[in-house]
Each structure stands twice: as structure tokens, then as C-alpha cells.
A and B are shown apart, each in its own frame.
Chain A
């Protein structure tokens, strides 16, 4: 019997328009790959130029989408609400800073620039889709897309065994975590009968033909637990953080800079959509676990960071600690908490990538020992501007007032207080106090007299210099006049809460 399939495909131009920034970046990724065959993209400048142009065009598309986004498109699988677009901004700014800091590293390590930038852009596509996903399927595939590109990039420096180790370790452990995540998603699908975030929320609120049985099914709770493990691994929450220091240290520095901010941003965006919105009706069941994870992460991250001698490992543990602070905001599960997560990542993009720009410059000038904190000794006398920038990033990561890091932490902890989770806020403040020691130790080492006085560092490469200054401007700007950006973050959260019928 001939079957007549009568289901038309309802995909309009507006649907594609709602993912225009992602499509632009995908286009740039393909152009970089194909260009390799026709024009000499072997030249680092050409590849960097194409990458930066792509990022600029995608940024413009995202700005246009800010006021014309759709709550749901492409069969309710992606959303271009302001929350997604805000994270697009964070990811694109991070990608641009990475592209500026990479050229000297690419030449120094003899990378193929076309492939390198193509993979950075492919990873950015995955991140942007992950932030925009409103279907568990899209969350998973976008996560695989961004992770796969990052595994390759981590092992990109094939002449260095540490880089190969980092790539392989990240690949094995992270694939394991992906399996947890997808298994959990399958169980949540089994319990609720849908993969769409909005419908999961409706179902767990006993609407849309779902009985109370769905939210009482053990299947649902096993699924939620497995998904939590998957997400926690990807944003390096203790006790799923073991891969982070090794991968951050082994991967090429521009790659570490890029992934330390953007992976967390993209995964936390999806984490919020799933836990703060889809699973909001069963918050009382997951809150306790997230509470414990946040405390352990803040404590372990900050205490282990105290004894690090490598700058990249120090920043890895600092990243774990910051994931803990952001988890506090997520646990608050209120509008202020979600706003603070969005703002936190904007601040984190500037201060953390800025810190990695410094590491990259030091490594290009001093070789592999540039990663040792001891080699920062006397930097104030050798290279005052670079040392000044480093100090700004360290103060901001520690959360000193008048820097972006202070505003971000203040918002995260006040969200916890507002949600009556004062215990989390107190532990957050106490562990931040511990963190001041290791951040300021870097500043102290830079201020010590050099062993050989009177030596000047070679000049910083122009592009990396520009990246450092943009990062400094962002870090101080967000610290002194946060209002405008905070307003954007608030608007983005209002938009997503409106979709879920929350004030």
C-alpha cells in the first residue's frame, strides 16, 4: 500500500531568522574550512581576519535579534528570547578576545590557523545553540558539538605531550559525563512524555494531561539526578572537577581562555533553563543536592587553589570556585539569581580571558616557564602595563569593589539572601575571603624586586595587547558603571520568565 505522507514541514523564513547569529557563525566556520583549499589561509592574518569578521557579523545579527526574538521556533526546539541573545553576546565577546590573543600563539606553535579558527567557531555555534535550546535533544546535540570541537582543540598542540594528554583526558571523561546527561534526559522523557522544556514544566505542574503520577515516578528523579551529574561535570562542580586542572594546564592557552568562560556560560544557560524552569515544580527535591554541591565546590576550589604554583592551574581552581558562586545564584531560583548568572558571565568573560591573555603573553616571552607563578617575579619593573593589567584581573577575580567581579559576586550572594538561603551566601563570602590570599599572592610576586634588575620584557604583540586592554576596560567599566549592562541582564531574565508565566 502506498502511504501518502501529508505532514507539511512548517519551517518559515522567520524560523531561520531566529537563529541568524548561529547561522552566520556556521557560515564563517565553513568558509574558513573551504578557504583553505583555494586561498592561502596559511597566513595567520587572513584566518584571524575571517574569524573576527564572522564574529562581528554575528554580533550585529544578535543585536538585531534582541528586539525581534521569537519565544520558540523550529518546532519549539530553539528560542531566540533575550536570555539566549544575552548569552550569544557573552560567547561572541569571548570568541573575539580569543581570536585577538591567538595569532602569536598560532605562529609560535605552528598551528594550522584555518583549522584552529574553524574549530573555535564550530564550538561557538554549539554554545550559542545550547544557550538557545528549549528542547532536551537540542541541548544534548549542541553540547556534543561544542565539546567535540574543544576536545580536538585541547589536543591541538601535537608536539607537546601535555596537550595530547589534555585532549584525550577531556575526551574520555567528558564523553562519560555526556552519557550520564543523555541517559537522564531519556528518563525524564520517559516520565513526562516530552523533550520540550516548556511542556516538561507544564507536565510537572500537573497540566496538559499529566497526572500526579508523572512527578511521583522514580524514573523522573533518577533522570534528574543523572542530568545533574552531567551538567555538574561540564561546568566543573566538585566532585566532578578532577579533569579541569589537567585539561586547563595542558590545552593551548588560547583554547583554555576560550573554554574556561564560554563552556561554563553555555552549560549554565541550559542548566538554568532545565533546573530553574522545566524542573521548577519539583525544586524542593533537587535543591538539597545543589545546595551541597555549591558548598563543596566553593570550599574545595578555593582551598586547593591556595597551594598552586602554576598560573593555569591556579586559574583552573579559581574557575571551579567561581562555578560554585554561580551555582549559589542558580540554587536561589529567583529572578535576581538568574540575572546575576547572566551578568556574572559577562564580567567573567572580561576578567578571566584577560588573565589568560597575560598567561599567553608570558608563555610567548619566557617559554613554558611563563606559566609558573614564580616567573612573574619583578613583572612590575620589566613590563609595567602588563603587570598593571594582571593586577586588575586578580582584584576583579577576588571580588574587590570597583571591579566587575565585585558586582557579580554581590548580585549572586544577595540573590541567595533574597531566597532565604543565607547559609549559602555566608559560605560564599567566607570562601571569597580565602581566595583573596591566592589572587593577591600573584600581585605580591609581581611587586618583588627582580633577580636581575634593569631587564625589560620584549614588547607585547599588538593584538594580544589590544585584547588585554579591552579586557581591562570591560572589567573596570562593568565595576564602576554596571547599570546599563545590569539592565540588559534584567531584561533578558524578564523575557524568559515571562515565557514560563513567572513574574
Chain B
């Protein structure tokens, strides 16, 4: 990795973590959602550093774009700002959360220290394809290996639409049940 790439990585990584902290620390849900957009955008930068340009573009378009806009719509439409923060519901929720988070962190540190490559699986020819011709490799995979799962999402989307209509529509009398 070149020096420039290193610098970009650190900027993106630190901003992503800062955004993540912002999601849980912000008082207003709007600010939380905006922080999440920052995190997602920085993750897209990290994907580009990993030579996954297509995923980076999809990340921006779908997550930072479509999904988060929907989140903001829901937050503003429900006017959730006026709701009081309910806080911890269970008596031991806070200490339990601290202990479990510490365990998770210890586990991650242990594995990374044990072997930095524990997350790397098998490198097939896929990785090499990715380095040369990313979007094309993706397209070829989508229309060959993953052609059928891709087609199968068609009935899935139809069923989702039927669900929205069947559960949301009003009865003939005009009353909503």
C-alpha cells in the first residue's frame, strides 16, 4: 500500500469510527441518522481501497442514498423528537452491556493478535479477477453463477408488494381496521 493510500485509509477509518460513535451518542435521532450516513460513506472509501469499486458505488447509492433517506423520512414523519428517551429497561442492563462489550473486544483483540490472517479465507481466482476488472467480473458472476438466485428475488419482491397492499389497505366500507 502506498503512502497516499495509507493516509486515505487512516482518514476514512477514523471518520467512520467517529460517525459510529455519533450514532449512539447523538441526542437527536436525526443527528444519529446523519452520523450513520457519514460512517457508510467512509466505508465506501475503504471499499475503494480494497479494489471493490462496485460495492463502493452500491454502498453510496443504496445505503447512504436510498436506505438512509427512508430512515430520515420515517424519523421526520413520526416526529420522534418529542418522545422521551426511555433509558435502560432491565435492572442489570448497563453493567451487562459493559461486560459483554468488553468480552467482545477481548475476543477480537485475541484473534487479531493470535493470527492477523485469521479472517482471510481461501483466495480463489475471484480475487485476481477483482483486481483487474471489477465491475465486469461482478456482472459475469451475476449472470452466470448467481443468475438463478437473482431471478428468484422476483417472486420475493412481488410477495413483499402483496403484503404491503393486503395488510395496509382499507376495507370496502372505508374504515381502517
Contact indicator per residue, chain B 140-177, by CB within 8 Å of chain A (1) or not (0): 10011111110011011011101100110000000001
The reply on A148 being an interface residue by CB < 8 A is yes
Q: Determine, out of B26-34, B44-52, B95-103, B118-126, the stretch whose residues face the partner at the interface.
A: B118-126
Contact residues in A for B160 (Cβ distance below 8 Å): 148
Contact indicator per residue, chain A 184-195, by CB within 8 Å of chain B (1) or not (0): 000001111110
For residue B114, which residue of chain A has the nearest CB?
A218
Pick the contact of B162: A118, A192, A193, A210 (CB < 8 A): A118
- State whether A156 touches B166 (Cβ < 8 A): yes
Q: Classify the secondary structure of B's interface with A.
A: helix
User: CA–CA, A281 to B119, complex, Å?
Assistant: 21
Q: How far is the CB of B156 from chain A (nearest CB, A)?
A: 5
The reply on B94 being an interface residue by CB < 8 A is no
- State whether B177 touches A158 (Cβ < 8 A): yes
Contact residues in B for A137 (Cβ distance below 8 Å): 146, 149
User: CA–CA, A137 to B152, complex, Å?
Assistant: 10
Given A112-B166, A152-B163, A75-B145 contact (CB < 8 Å) = yes
The reply on A478 being an interface residue by CB < 8 A is no
Contact residues in B for A158 (Cβ distance below 8 Å): 167, 177
- State whether B147 touches A192 (Cβ < 8 A): no
Contact residues in B for A138 (Cβ distance below 8 Å): 148-149, 152
- State whether B111 touches A75 (Cβ < 8 A): no
Q: How far is the CB of B65 from chain A (nearest CB, A)?
A: 22
For residue A26, which residue of chain B has the nearest CB?
B155
User: CA–CA, A149 to B161, complex, Å?
Assistant: 10
The reply on A3 being an interface residue by CB < 8 A is yes
Pick the contact of A192: B122, B136, B177 (CB < 8 A): B122
Given A156-B166, A193-B124, A210-B122, A3-B156 contact (CB < 8 Å) = no
Contact residues in B for A192 (Cβ distance below 8 Å): 121-122
For residue B140, which residue of chain A has the nearest CB?
A7
Contact residues in B for A26 (Cβ distance below 8 Å): 155
Q: How big is chain B's contact interface, by range?
A: 20 to 34
User: CA–CA, A211 to B120, complex, Å?
Assistant: 13
The reply on A402 being an interface residue by CB < 8 A is no
Contact residues in A for B155 (Cβ distance below 8 Å): 26, 29, 122, 125-126, 145
- State whether A218 touches B148 (Cβ < 8 A): no
User: CA–CA, A490 to B177, complex, Å?
Assistant: 50
Q: How big is chain A's contact interface, by range?
A: 35 or more
Pick the contact of A122: B123, B159, B167, B177 (CB < 8 A): B159
Given A191-B121, A193-B121, A149-B159 contact (CB < 8 Å) = yes
The reply on A480 being an interface residue by CB < 8 A is no
Q: How far is the CB of B160 from chain A (nearest CB, A)?
A: 6
User: CA–CA, A194 to B166, complex, Å?
Assistant: 38
Contact residues in B for A77 (Cβ distance below 8 Å): 145-149
- State whether A141 touches B156 (Cβ < 8 A): yes
User: CA–CA, A29 to B136, complex, Å?
Assistant: 35
User: CA–CA, A10 to B144, complex, Å?
Assistant: 8
Given A138-B152, A190-B121, A193-B122, A148-B143 contact (CB < 8 Å) = no
Contact residues in B for A3 (Cβ distance below 8 Å): 133, 136
Q: How far is the CB of A466 from chain B (nearest CB, A)?
A: 28
Pick the contact of A115: B119, B124, B147, B166 (CB < 8 A): B166
The reply on A217 being an interface residue by CB < 8 A is yes
User: CA–CA, A190 to B163, complex, Å?
Assistant: 34
- State whether B140 touches A129 (Cβ < 8 A): no
User: CA–CA, A211 to B139, complex, Å?
Assistant: 29
For residue B123, which residue of chain A has the nearest CB?
A193
The reply on A427 being an interface residue by CB < 8 A is no
- State whether B152 touches A142 (Cβ < 8 A): yes
User: CA–CA, A149 to B163, complex, Å?
Assistant: 8
- State whether A217 touches B152 (Cβ < 8 A): no
Pick the contact of A141: B122, B126, B145, B152 (CB < 8 A): B152
**Residues of A at under 8 Å CB distance from B?**
3, 5, 7, 9-11, 26, 29, 33, 74-75, 77-78, 112, 115, 118-119, 122, 125-126, 129, 135, 137-138, 140-142, 144-145, 148-149, 151-152, 155-156, 158-159, 167, 189-194, 203, 209-211, 213-214, 217-220
For this complex, 28 residue pairs linking A to B, each with C-beta atoms less than 8 Å apart, are A7-B143, A7-B144, A26-B155, A75-B145, A75-B147, A75-B148, A78-B148, A122-B158, A122-B162, A125-B155, A129-B152, A135-B149, A140-B149, A141-B156, A145-B155, A148-B159, A152-B163, A155-B167, A159-B177, A167-B167, A190-B121, A193-B122, A193-B123, A209-B122, A211-B122, A214-B121, A219-B118, A219-B121
**Residues of B at under 8 Å CB distance from A?**
111, 118-119, 121-124, 126, 133, 136, 139-140, 143-149, 152-153, 155-156, 158-160, 162-163, 166-167, 177
Q: Which 9 A-B pairs have the closest CB atoms?
A: A137-B149, A193-B122, A152-B163, A74-B148, A190-B121, A193-B124, A77-B148, A191-B121, A141-B152
8 further A-B contacts with Cβ under 8 Å, apart from A33-B162, A129-B152, A189-B121, are A10-B144, A138-B148, A152-B166, A158-B167, A190-B119, A191-B122, A210-B122, A218-B118
